[in-house]
Structures are given as structure tokens and as C-alpha cells.
Structure 1
């Protein structure tokens, strides 16, 4: 069987990805497996709660909670996709900037292992953060039936939050992985091709992994309506918005930092190439002005001068900010998603 693109630089596997790779009952689709193996208990619990307390629940709470549950269902797949598709494909495409395959293999192994390694500190941070949000939002939850006979569901809500923080929260190592990965790559001599079809010297692959990371992990913004509901219903806003701000900042940096640092590194490389070409041009031009009765030699010098000038123009005109229109469009989409969800929540709340 031929080696797939995403197999070549896949040196380690996140434990969530590993469980999705195993399959179940003949099912191999990672999205479906993520729901069956990770999310199904929470879906069943949400269904039971909704049936028992339907008359107590408000429409805003229902759809806000549904958005969050939707993310919980797709999150295992998103972790798998970053681990098994985004990273391996990036290292394959990196051949255009970093031609040494062994160097690429070493970097790939390092950051495959970095993402796959479980970090208690990350899980603990998100677990405590989410549990804190639930704690300060208990007044809103008790009005939704989680008191008295329904207090059991308050405890299951804490269990739900602990699951999100301890299991799914570790997926947020992804943005950190991308940031550190691109920082590492800029230490190498990147070979920028001024004639690359992307018009960016081949740097579009950096913009691509940055936006793919941003899109995957910004999907947790589906929880924003629920957080805004908690804040609007008496939750401690300092806690809710403080933790939300940390999340948004991490996602923002996962896109901004890689593109900026690569731009600066590429700019230094181009300045070096342009300076070298300027010196070549000056040398050849000086030779042309030196008396030479050999017409063939004279012609070769003028052709060389044209070649150097053409190379100079090619390098000087290439854009070194690794963004294409398609990348910017997807970035706008990832930014607009939480905004549109918030507007929808405000509009629906006013209607109801």
C-alpha cells in the first residue's frame, strides 16, 4: 500500500487520536467515532435533563447549551484532525522552504511528540477554569431546575465541565504547538522562491497552518453564547470574561505570531539576497566599463547584468507576508463566527 502524505511525518499520536484510529463496530469515520466513544454519555444526559425539565428551560438557555454540546461532540475529531492531518501535511509541504528531509523529520518528530504528550498542567488549568465558571454561574443553573430534586444535574454539570477541561481542554496545546513550531522553523535557512506559484515565495504554507490551527481551536467559541448567558444571569463576569479572554488571546496568537515571525525572518533573508545581487550587479557593471576588445565576452557580461537585474526584481517584488485572499477569508470567518453567535443571542433574547 503506498505511503499517504499524512503518514510520512507522523511520528506520534495523541491519545484521543489513537482511540479514534482504532475504530468501533466496523466504523472508521473519526467524527462518528468521536461522538460514540467520547460524547455519547453527555448527549444522553442532556436529553434526559431536557425531557425532565423542559417546562423550566428558557429558549436562550436551550440553544446556548446546544451550541456548547455541539462543540463537545466535534472536539475529539478536531484534535484528531490537527494531530493526523494538519501537522503531517505541513511537514510534507515544508519541503519547499526547508529542503533537507532529515531536518524536517527531526522537527516533525519533536512537535508530534510535543502535541501528543499529556500535560497535567494544561488539563488542570482548564478544569479549574471551567469549574470556576460553573461555580460562579450556579444561580443561573438553579433557575433551570438544578436545585432540589434536580440538584443531581448540578453535580453532573460539574462532571461535564471537568471532562471538557481534563480531556478536551488538552487539545488547546495545538495553538501552542503551532507557535513553537513556526518559531523553531525560523531558525533554519528557509529557501524562498520568488517565482513560487503562490506569489509569496512559498510562505503560504505558514499562513495555511496558522489559519487551520485558528479555525480548529476557535471552534470552542460555540460556548460563548452560554458564557454570555451565565454572565447576563448573575454570574461573576470577572471570572467568566477573564477566562474567556485567555482563550481568545491564545487563539489570536496562534495566527498572528507565526505569520509575523516568518515575515521578519523572510525579510532578513531577502535583504541578504538583494545585497548580494547588488554587489554582483556592481561588479559586472564595472567589468563592462573596462575596455575589452572581445565582443563575445562583452555580450556575456551584458547578459549576466540582465540576469542579475531580473533576479533582483523578482526577489524585490515578492510578498513576504504569508497570506493569500483565501487565508484572509477563512480568518475573517473564524473571527466573525463568535460575533455572529453573540448578535444572534442578543437578537433572540430581545425577541423572547
Structure 2
């Protein structure tokens, strides 16, 4: 954890160095936008560590409790944890190149805030900041992709719905928690929206920036909606399988009870009573399975989802307001 705090100080140091090297023409709107964007790599390392060390392992452990083969779930968890740890570079390297490339393309804008040209040390410091920002956000985005893949892989296993699970969702709340924590991780990028809008409006890439923001909001929504809808469909199949098993058993016992009712003697009566008690037990189980909510959504999860989707809209409005004020 101390390492993540140290990593979070890197963009602070780079920012301070940039402000020292720039020649003092930094505008208020750029200063505010940059400081907000700086918050992403400051908070990001701790958020990524928490997701990797706490959220994802909890998802695997709780999924194993619902699986017919817990070992298979652990194998899936180990596989995708290794993918997240060792293959992030496949996603991160091109992402860093994109962020640094966009920064270079906006050299004209940076010349309006105190940078004298491509050879200015302040510009190279800012490129380092952009590269670090791309590194942290790229890892976060790769985590989102990993989470979606892991949820799908777990969903393809033989899972069991527990109608008596304390979460009231058949045990599926672990899907919602992983999805919403992943969505919240991605939504941290909303802090950079004012800077993106500033580069778009002042740097001449407005259409690209607004398109990127729209895609970003869609990605936030999809990172939550896709896994929850997928798991809901799989859970529906499992639920229907369990219900059908009980339907068939109840029909068999009803026929058996009718035959016993026609039989003579105390033995037939006792067997009939026992059979009808078993029918009632199966009906109770049927109703329990039938009443389970298959969407892994609780009130807390929904509140976090709404807040995650609200963040980019909030910072968009902040940018518009600051633009009018400054």
C-alpha cells in the first residue's frame, strides 16, 4: 500500500516541476483542468491496488461458494489475475502512445500556457506526465476488460443459485460488486474531462474530444450493464433448470400420493401423508427459487452505478460553467 502512495506522488512531482519550468503564462482554466486531471494518477494506483488485492479476490471466493466445482472457479480467478498482472502492457503501451501523441499534436495550445516550443524542458516534463497518466489509466482500463472477461468465464461454469443467501439475490451480488467497483475505477477518468474539453476547444480537436467523451460514457455503462445482463441470462437458465427439476418431482409424487390414497391399510395412509409432506416441501423450494431476484443489483450497487455515470456528466457541466466564468 505504501508503494501505491509513492506512485501517486509521481504526477504531483511532475506537475510541480512543469509549473516551475513554464514561464508563468499559465491560465486559470488550464491550471484548474490540469489539477483535476492530475487527480486520476494520484488516486489511481491506490484504486487499482484495492481492486486487484481486495475486490477481485473477493469475487472469486464468493463465486466459488456458488459453483458446483469450486476448484474450476479458482482456476478461472488465477488465470485472469495473471492476465491482469502480466499482460497489461498489451493494452497500456498503445494507450500511452495515443495519449502522448495527442499531447504532441496540441503543442500549439501548450505554447499559449507558457511552453516555448518542442524543445522546451517544460514540454518534455508534460510529456512525462501524459505518459504516466496513460500508464495508470491504461492499467485501469485493462482491469475493466479483465473483469468483464472473468465474469463471463465464471458465468459459463456450473453455478448454483442459493435462494436462502443473505444477499437476497441468490448469491449473485458478488457479480454486481465486481462490476460496480470496476465501473467506479473507470469513472475516475472523469476528472480529466475538463482538460480534454480545453484541449478540444482551444487545440482544434473539438469533434474528436466530444466523440471520445461520448464513447467513454458508453464504456462506463457497458462495463456494468454487459456483465450483469449476461449473468442474469445465465442465472435465468439455472433457475429454470432447478424449477423444472422440482416440477417433475412434484408431478411424480402427486401421482404416487393418488395411488397411495386408493390403497388400504395404515401403511398406505402413513406413506400418503409422508408423500404429501414431501410435495409441500418441494413446493416451498419451488417458490423460493422462483422468487429469487436474478439481477445482481442492490440499492447500494445502484447508487454507486448512478454516481459513476454522473461523474462524467458532472465534470462536463463544470467545464461549461468554468468556461463561462473564466
1:107 pairs with 2:76: yes
Conserved? CA contact 2:44–2:136, under 8 Å: no
How many equivalent pairs are there? 321
2:111 aligned with 1:137: no
Q: How does 1:296-307 map to 2 (within 5 A)?
A: 296-307=270-281
Look up the match of 2:126.
Answer: 157
> Which range moves more in the overlay, 213-222 or 236-245?
236-245
Alignment of 1:342 with 2:316, yes or no, is: yes
Pick closer, same or farther for the CA change 1:41–1:192 going to 2, 3 Å: closer
The CA distance in 1 between the partners of 2:219 and 2:310, in whole Å, is 17
Is 1:324 matched with 2:313? no
Between the aligned partners of 1:132 and 1:297, the Cα distance in structure 2 is: 80
Contact 1:132 1:239 in 2 (8 A): no
Query: How far did 1:61 drift?
Result: 1.2
2:194/2:315 contact within 8 Å kept: yes
Which is helix-richer, 1 or 2? 2
> Which residue, 134, 141, 158 being the options, matches 1:172?
141
Higher relative contact order, structure no. (Cα contacts within 8 Å, ≥ 6 residues apart): 2
CA distance in 1 between counterparts of 2:104 and 2:13 reads 23
Q: Which residue is equivalent to 1:34?
A: 4
For residue 39 of structure 1, report the CA deviation from its aligned partner. 4.3
- Report the TM-score when normalising by structure 2: 0.90
Change (3 A) 1:128 1:245: farther
Contact 2:37 2:195 in 1 (8 A): yes
Distance (whole Å) between structure 2 residues aligned to residue 95 and residue 166 of structure 1: 32
RMSD: 2.2
Alignment partner of 1:201 is 2:170: yes
The answer as to whether partners of 2:217 and 2:309 remain within 8 angstroms in 1 is no
Determine whether 1:292 maps to 2:263.
yes
* Aligned with residue 117 of structure 1, among 86, 102, 112: 86
Structure 1 segments unaligned to the other structure (5+ residues):
1-29
Distance 2:49 2:281 in 1: 48
1:315–1:41 distance in 2 versus 1, CA, 3 Å: closer
Q: Is the 8 A contact 2:8 2:42 kept in 1?
A: yes
CA distance in 2, matches of 1:72, 1:155: 18
User: Which secondary structure does the structure 2 equivalent of 1:233 belong to?
Assistant: helix
Q: Kindly indicate whether the alpha-carbon contact (under 8 Å) linking 1:129 and 1:243 is maintained by their aligned counterparts in 2.
A: no
Any idea what SS the aligned residue of 2:203 has?
Answer: coil
Q: Are 1:56 and 2:25 an aligned pair? A: yes
Which moves more between the two structures, 245-254 or 187-196?
Answer: 245-254
Q: Which residue number corresponds to residue 208 of structure 2?
A: 239
- Deviates further, 119-128 or 269-278: 119-128
- Partner of 1:322, secondary structure, is coil
Residues 260 and 101 of structure 1: is their aligned pair in 2 closer, same or farther, counting only changes over 3 Å?
A: same
| Bigger mean CA deviation after superposition, 265-274 or 277-286 | 277-286
1:138 Cα deviation after fit: 2.5
1:95 aligns with 2:64: yes
Measured in 2, the distance between the counterparts of 1:238 and 1:223 equals 17
Which digits, 9 at most, give the CA deviation of each residue in 1:50-91, with x for residues without a partner?
A: 356585222221111001111111222222112211111222
Partner residue of 1:277 out of 236, 240, 246: 246
- 2:288 match: 314
1:251-270 equivalence runs, <5 A? 251-270=220-239
Distance 1:309 1:71, change over 3 A: same
- Are the aligned partners of 1:224 and 1:338 in contact in 2 as well (CA < 8 Å)? yes
Shift of 1:49: 3.4
Stretches of structure 2 lacking an aligned partner (at least 5 in a row) = none
**Cα contact 2:11–2:129 (8 A) shared by 1:** yes
Q: In the aligned structure 2, how far is the partner of 1:243 from the partner of 1:183?
A: 26
Compared CA separation, residues 295 and 137, structure 1 to 2 (3 A): same
Distance in 1, Cα, partners of 2:199 & 2:205? 8
1:224 pairs with 2:193: yes
